[in-house]
Amino acid sequence: MNERLNEQASTFTISAVVVGFLIIPKLNAKQQNDLGNWLMLVGQVLCTNAARIAILKANDTSSSPSNQDLICLFEETIVAMQKEIENLKKDRNTT
């Protein structure tokens, strides 16, 4: 059973590689970058949505983050991002 799942996963991955290589000659570098970024964004949206659904469907609601927990996490992330932006600005000004 596990071997069959690995084979299906490998086939799925190889199909993405083949499609990617088939598209490359038809697009210039800017078009490849644009399409690649768009596809990655679609993938991130799907992954984020699926993860959120999994959390909401979990039977053990005590392990699911509350809205307050999520707000705290977002606030901490924003503070960390602001610090990183300031560091980048300092680095840019010193070079």
pLDDT of residue 82: 92
> Which pLDDT tens digit goes with each residue over 22-77?
999 999 999 999 999 999 999 999 999 999 888 888 755 556 667 888 888 899 99
Report the C-alpha gap between 89 and 92 in whole angstroms.
Answer: 5
The DSSP code sequence of 7-72 is HHHHHHHHHHHHHHHHHGGGS-HHHHHHHHHHHHHHHHHHHHHHHHHHHHH-S-GGGSPPHHHHHH
Asked if pLDDT for residue 2 goes beyond 90, the answer is: no
Give yes or no for a contact between 65 and 55, defined as CB atoms under 8 angstroms apart.
yes
Asked if pLDDT for residue 4 goes beyond 60, the answer is: yes
pLDDT of residue 92: 81
pTM for the predicted model, two decimal places:
0.52
Measuring CA to CA, how many Å separate 44 from each of 62, 69, 78?
Answer: 26, 22, 19
pLDDT of residue 59: 57
